[in-house]
Amino acid sequence: MKGILGKKVGMTQIFDERGDVIPVTVIEAGPCFVVQKRTKERDGYRGIQLGFEEVKPKRLNKGQLGHLRKNNMPPLRYLREIRISEKDEYEEGQKITVGIFTVGERVDVVGVSKGRGFAGTVKRHGFNRQPKTHGQSDRERAPGSIGSTTTPGRVYKGKRMAGHMGNARVTAQNLQVVMVDPERNLLAVKGAVPGARGGLVIIKEARKQG
C-alpha cells in the first residue's frame, strides 16, 4: 500500500491523445514525510504516519514540534496515518513524493465532503418534491409519509429524514491517474474528488482494482 497527502487545487479539463476531453481534479500532493511507523509488535498493526505541508514553527505547539523533531523533520501542518501491508518497507524520515504514482494507475482519494448543514430530505436523500399547486400548501419539500399507523406504531430505524449533511469523510474509489508532475508536486485524477478546494485529501492505491 502506498499513499500520499495532498491538497485539492481544483478541477479543469485536459485533452487525451485521441482529442477527447477528460474532466480532472488537480491535487497538489506531497512532498510528505514518514513521521512515525506503526508496528505489529508495538501497535498491533502495520502503518505509517505521514506528515504534509511545511509551516512556521510557531504554528505548532511544543508537543507537536517535539514529535517531529525526533527524526529531524520540519514543522508539518497535517499528520495522517495509512495502513501498509506486510511486505511494504518504509523508513522513518523518508520523503514521499508524487513520483510514487504513475499515469494510468487507479487510486482512492479520501477527503472531507463540503458541509451542507441541516439539510432536508430533498437535498439530502434526493426525495421528490410534491406538487406546488392543486390545493397544496407548504408541502413542496415535505418528506411525505414516514410510516404506517398503529401497527407498528413507531417510525422504523434508519428511516431517511432531514438532518446534518456533508462534512464527513468520503472516499472516491478507483479514480484513474491522468497526470503526474513530480517537479511541481502535482497530480491529476479523472473525475471529482470529495471536499472543497484547498481541502486535505489522502491519495492511496485503489483497494478494488479493475
Partner 1 sequence: MTDLLKSMERVEPNPAIPPLRPGDTVRVHVRIIEGDRERVQPFQGTVMRIRGGGINTTFTVRRIASHGIGVERTFLLHSPRLEKIEVLRHAHARRAQLYYLRGRRGKAARLREKRVQSQE
Q: Which of 66, 74, 93, 198 binds partner 1 (CB under 8 A)?
A: 198
**Residue 8 or 67 with smaller CB distance to partner 1:** 8
Does 12 participate in binding partner 1 (rule CB under 8 A)? yes
Q: Among candidates 6, 70, 16, which has minimal Cα distance to 200?
A: 6
Interface with partner 1 by CB under 8 A: which range of 2-10, 66-74, 81-89, 99-107?
Answer: 2-10
CA dihedral 35, 39, 45, 46 (to 10 degrees): 60
**Alpha carbon distance 73, 95 (integer Å):** 10
* Site of grid cell 392543486: 134
Residue 21 in contact with partner 1, rule: CB under 8 A: yes
Q: What binding mask, one character per residue, do residues 148-187 give for partner 1 by CB under 8 A, x or -?
A: ------------------------------------x-x-
Which of 4, 5, 6, 26 is close enough to bind partner 1 by CB under 8 A? Answer: 26
Residue 193 C-alpha cell reads as 474528488
Q: Pick from 194, 1, 168: which is nearest to 81 by CA?
A: 1
Closest CA to 3 of 112, 103, 107: 107
Please give the residue ranges that form the binding site for partner 1 (CB under 8 A): 7, 9-10, 12-15, 18-19, 21, 26, 28, 184, 186, 188, 197-198
